[in-house]
Amino acid sequence: MSTLSPSRTKYRKSFKGTRAGNAKRGNTLAFGEFGLQSLSRGPMTGRQIEAARVTIARHLKRKGKLWIRVFPHKPVTKKPAEVRMGQGKGPVEFYVAVIRPGAVLFELAGVSVTIAREAFRLADAKLPFRCRFIVRESLGT
């Protein structure tokens, strides 16, 4: 099983950056009827995205259409245990997607509200922050 990572990047390592503020884009439903929206901030690894995707797909039993709206672009480096200070930055260990409050993580279409709600509830348990279920306005609540 290969985890999500960019096929190529302009720079191998990046700064930590800031996670302040709310999601400016990717905060509304663009494709499906239902969505999973983050309520808090934090990094989301490629493994966590894949775990949530598998959980949703298993619950749907090959029905409906799923969109993944996030991708891990940011490299995270780690130095080995018990290494002295200095000597530069460690190698890239994994990639994360920086998630801000309001970001839509997954979208679903072609299934009932109850199936979509349960699928997203199961996926929410796999993620490192709280999320909520959202529905397109034209469908009602």
pLDDT at site 1: 53
pLDDT at site 79: 93
pLDDT at site 3: 79
pLDDT at site 73: 94
Q: Is residue 107 part of a domain?
A: yes
| pLDDT band, very low/low/confident/very high, at 38 (cuts 50, 70, 90) | very high
> Which residues, 6+ apart, have CB-to-CB distance to 94 below 8 Å?
3, 5, 45, 46, 47, 72, 75, 76
pLDDT tens digits for 70-110? Answer: 999 999 999 999 999 999 999 999 999 999 999 999 999 99
pLDDT at site 4: 85
**Which domain, by its residues, includes 119?**
45-80+88-139
Q: Domain holding 105: CATH number?
A: 3.90.1170.10
pLDDT at site 139: 55
Report the pLDDT averaged over residues 122-140. 88
**Number of domains present in the structure of the chain:** 1
Q: Is residue 18 part of a domain?
A: no
Instruction: Indicate the pTM of the whole model.
Output: 0.88
